[in-house]
Amino acid sequence: MKKGIELNQEFYNKVASLYKDEFDHIKYTKEDLDQHRVFEEYLIRHFYMSCLMRDWTLESKPERDNNYGNVLKEVKKYFNYDDKNLMKNKNFKALVPGTGCSRMTFELANRGFEVEANDFCFIYILTVDYLFNYSHKNEFQFCPSIHSFAHSYTESAVVKKYSFPDIDIRQELEKNEAKPITFIKGDFLLKYKGIKDKFDLIVTLFFIDVSKNIIEYVEIMHDLLKKGGVWVNLGCLDYFHSRYHNSIDLTWDELRQVIKNYDFEIKNEVTDFVPYGVKVGSMVSDSYGTVFFTAMKK
């Protein structure tokens, strides 16, 4: 257990060491630090580890092939990314809000899109900066399940180590002559509200329900897209905020109507359970009922 926790810490230290100077001048109170610690422990245990596992380990390839594979197939219907000349000449701009550990951002950049990705959480932004700019294939090992013995058949599953990233990210991007990727740190609402007609494609994965007002998110997506631009979404309607704050929690039927009212044409709609953050050797299987839709700005 101790070795596993230290292994995880080695990775955090390596990432943090690169950015230490940028944060050293900030003076936190003890209360701030306690609050951050509680939040980050929660974030790391429940979301971050499974995000890293899902996006950058070989073991999660089946989950990626299913979820991201379907999204990329859908994207290809509108942007034939196999046509390298088309992608070079057209310079399609894609946005990935709530990019997390950013595999989808990588996949789109690798296919010739000029990608902008956004997240408001430092731990994701710094991790991704490290992975995309400095890491090499299988540079790290980590123990994503070390924080909980619940729902485990075996101890070996809890302490199991995984290597990541499963590919050399920089080499792959260079090989495919990917355009530069821009990572924007900050709240989606603050960073993107009011920007118009900028993107050809927006991909949201398990993101739209982080909003407190999902109607506002639909409006922003509509503004951000160029006419004829496409928004592909895969994710659940968990409405995280409704546990703690007021939040507008629409059913899919209601949300679909809102999307149509904003002058989108729904081109594709699939409601299905998909695997999400599946843990090998766990007694519970994480899968979510999701909506997978494509909406085109008229």
183 binds ligand SAM (CB under 6 A): no
Instruction: Please provide residue 15's backbone torsions phi and psi, each rounded to the nearest 5 degrees.
Output: -65, -50
Cβ neighbours, 10 Å, residue 227? 9
205 binds ligand SAM (CB under 6 A): yes
Site for ligand SAM in 41-60 (CB under 6 A): 51, 54
Residues 6+ apart with CB under 8 A from 39: none
Q: In the structure encoding, which two tokens stand for residue 290, read together?
A: 């999701």
Tell me how far, at minimum, the Cβ of 88 lies from ligand SAM, in Å.
27
187 binds ligand SAM (CB under 6 A): yes
Nearer to ligand SAM, 159 or 184 (CB): 184
Nearer to ligand SAM, 62 or 228 (CB): 62
List of E strands, 144-262: 162-164, 182-185, 199-205, 225-235
> Which window, 6-14, 112-120, 145-153, 243-251, contacts ligand SAM (CB under 6 A)?
112-120
Report the distance separating Cα 99 and Cα 109, nearest Å. Answer: 13
12 binds ligand SAM (CB under 6 A): no
Q: If residue 100 lies in a helix (H) or strand (E), which one and from where to where?
A: none
Bridge-based pairing of strands 199-205 and 225-235 is parallel
Return the residue matching tokens 């430092």: 122
> Which window, 4-12, 80-88, 200-208, 279-287, contacts ligand SAM (CB under 6 A)?
200-208
210 binds ligand SAM (CB under 6 A): yes
Percent of residues in the chain assigned helix, strand, coil, to nearest 5: 50, 20, 30
Report the distance separating Cα 91 and Cα 6, nearest Å. Answer: 43
Report the distance separating Cα 168 and Cα 134, nearest Å. Answer: 10
140 binds ligand SAM (CB under 6 A): no
Residue of 4, 98, 112, 229 interacting with ligand SAM (CB under 6 A): 98
Q: In the structure encoding, which two tokens stand for residue 136, read together?
A: 């090499």
Kindly tell me the number of DSSP H helices and DSSP E strands found in the chain: 12, 9
100 binds ligand SAM (CB under 6 A): yes
> Which window, 4-12, 17-25, 130-138, 202-210, contacts ligand SAM (CB under 6 A)?
202-210
> Which window, 17-25, 168-176, 199-207, 289-297, contacts ligand SAM (CB under 6 A)?
199-207
145 binds ligand SAM (CB under 6 A): no
Q: Helix axis angle, 2-24 relative to 122-133, nearest 10°?
A: 90
User: What binding mask, one character per residue, do residues 117-136 give for ligand SAM by CB under 6 A, x or -?
Assistant: -xxxx--x------------
Binding residues for ligand SAM, how many (CB under 6 A)? 15
Tell me how far, at minimum, the Cβ of 119 lies from ligand SAM, in Å.
5
Residues of this chain that interact with ligand SAM (CB under 6 A) are 51, 54, 98, 100, 118-121, 124, 187-188, 205-207, 210
